[in-house]
Structure 1
Amino acid sequence: MTFKRVMKFLGLLFGFLAGVTAVIVAWFTRRMVAPARQPLWATPSEMGLAFENVQFPAKDGVRLSGWFIPAAGSERGGASIILVHGWAWNRLGDAAGDLLADLSGMTPVELLRLAHALHYEGYHVLMFDLRNHGESAAQPPVTFGLTEANDLLGAIAYMETRPEVNAKRLGVIGFSMGANALLYALPQTIAVCAAIAVQPTTISSFAEAYATDLMGLPGRVILPLVEAAYTAISGVRLTALQPAFAAAGAGATPVLFIQCKEDPWGSMEDANRLAAATPLGEGPLYVDGSHHYQGYQYLVENPRIAVAYFEQYF
Structure 2
Amino acid sequence: MRSIFILTKDQRRALLLDVLIVFLVLIIVVTGVSVYTGYKVMNPMKLAILQLPSKYDLEYENVTFPNIYDDVRLKGWWIPSTNHDFISQKAVIFSHSYGDNRENMPIDTLKLAKRFSTEGFHVFMYDFRNSGESEKSYTTIGAKERTDLMSAIQYVKETKGIHNIALIGWSMGAATSIIVGSESDDVKAVIADSPFADLEEYTKKNFTYWTGLPNPIGKYMIDIAENVFLDLDLKEVKPYVAAKAYKDKGLMLIHSKKDGAISYKESEQIYHNAPNAELWITKKGGHIRNYKHQKKAYEDRIIHFIGKYIKDDYRFDRA
C-alpha distance 250-32 of structure 1, shift in aligned 2 (>3 A): farther
Give matches, 1:211-230, under 5 Å. Answer: 211-213=207-209, 218-220=213-215, 223-224=218-219, 226-230=221-225
Q: In the alignment, residue 88 of structure 1 is paired with which amino acid? A: G
Q: Contact conserved, 1:179 with 1:197, CA < 8 A, in 2?
A: yes
Q: Contact conserved, 1:209 with 1:266, CA < 8 A, in 2?
A: no
Tell me the TM-score normalised to structure 2 length: 0.76
- Structure 1 residue 21 displacement after superposition: 8.8
Identity over the aligned pairs, expressed in percent?
26
- Structure 1 residue 63 displacement after superposition: 1.7
Q: In the alignment, residue 262 of structure 1 is paired with which amino acid? A: K
Q: In the alignment, residue 172 of structure 2 is paired with which amino acid? A: M
- Structure 1 residue 204 displacement after superposition: 3.5
- Structure 1 residue 109 displacement after superposition: 2.4
In 2, Cα distance between equivalents of 1:109 and 1:26: 32
Instruction: Give runs of ≥4 in structure 1 deviating > 6 Å.
Output: 20-24
Residue 159 (1) aligns with residue 160 (2): no
The structure whose Rg is larger is 2
- Structure 1 residue 249 displacement after superposition: 3.2
Q: Contact conserved, 2:107 with 2:292, CA < 8 A, in 1?
A: yes
> Which residue matches 1:182?
177
Q: Contact conserved, 1:248 with 1:279, CA < 8 A, in 2?
A: yes
Q: Contact conserved, 1:175 with 1:198, CA < 8 A, in 2?
A: yes
Give matches, 1:102-141, under 5 Å. Answer: 108-140=106-138
Higher mean alpha-carbon deviation, 51-60 vs 20-29, is at: 20-29
Tell me the TM-score normalised to structure 1 length: 0.77
Per-residue CA deviations over 1:207-242 (Å, capped at 9, x if unaligned) read: 3554445787x5425644652443133234535532
In 1, Cα distance between equivalents of 2:202 and 2:261: 6
Alignment partner of 2:308 out of 296, 308, 312: 312
In 2, Cα distance between equivalents of 1:90 and 1:264: 21
Query: Structure 1: any 5+ residue segments left out of the alignment?
Result: 1-17, 95-107
C-alpha distance 69-171 of structure 1, shift in aligned 2 (>3 A): same
Alignment partner of 1:245 out of 238, 241, 251: 241
> Which residue matches 1:40?
49
In 2, Cα distance between equivalents of 1:180 and 1:266: 12
Q: Contact conserved, 1:190 with 1:253, CA < 8 A, in 2?
A: no
Query: Structure 2: any 5+ residue segments left out of the alignment?
Result: 1-26, 311-319
Per-residue CA deviations over 1:8-48 (Å, capped at 9, x if unaligned) read: xxxxxxxxxx9x99997666433321222111111111222
Work out the number of aligned pairs and report it. 280
> Which residue matches 2:7?
none
Q: In the alignment, residue 121 of structure 2 is paired with which amino acid? A: Y
Q: In the alignment, residue 152 of structure 1 is paired with which amino acid? A: L
> Which residue matches 2:17?
none
